[in-house]
């Protein structure tokens, strides 16, 4: 549902931007309804890619955190092994 909500939210923002543009130009708000659809579609597409980017970033971050945890575990094991070897000597 987050994907749909994000697309709809961005589309509504695109419509608001279009209406604001026409208001600044002092043109009738219903002068070109195709322009409204283009703005809503463009912003909705941006909303879709925002969700996709967020999901990809979450996966990449999880992978990096796992790599960092593995490196830390190996360093701790190496330090423990060196400390044990130093105590035996």
27 pLDDT more than 90: yes
Q: Find the domain containing 72 and state its range.
A: 2-88
Number of domains in the chain: 1
- Rounded-to-integer distance, Cα 40 and Cα 59, Å: 29
Q: Of 9-18, 53-62, 64-73, 77-86, where does mean pLDDT reach its minimum?
A: 77-86
Residue ranges of the alpha helices (H) in the chain? Answer: 2-25, 33-88
73 pLDDT more than 80: yes
Confidence at residue 86, expressed as pLDDT on a 0 to 100 scale: 85
Confidence at residue 1, expressed as pLDDT on a 0 to 100 scale: 63
89 pLDDT more than 80: no
Report the percentage of the chain scoring pLDDT > 90: 85
Distance of CA 76 to the CA centre of its chain: 34
């Amino acid at each position: 549902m987050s994907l749909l909500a994000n697309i709809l939210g961005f589309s509504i923002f695109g419509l608001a931007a279009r209406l604001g543009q026409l208001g600044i130009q002092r043109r009738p708000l219903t002068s070109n309804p195709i322009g409204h659809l283009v703005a809503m579609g463009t912003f909705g597409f941006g909303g879709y890619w925002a969700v996709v980017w967020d999901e990809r970033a979450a996966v990449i971050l999880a992978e990096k955190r796992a790599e960092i945890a593995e490196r830390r575990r190996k360093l701790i094991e190496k330090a423990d092994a060196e400390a044990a070897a130093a105590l035996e000597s």
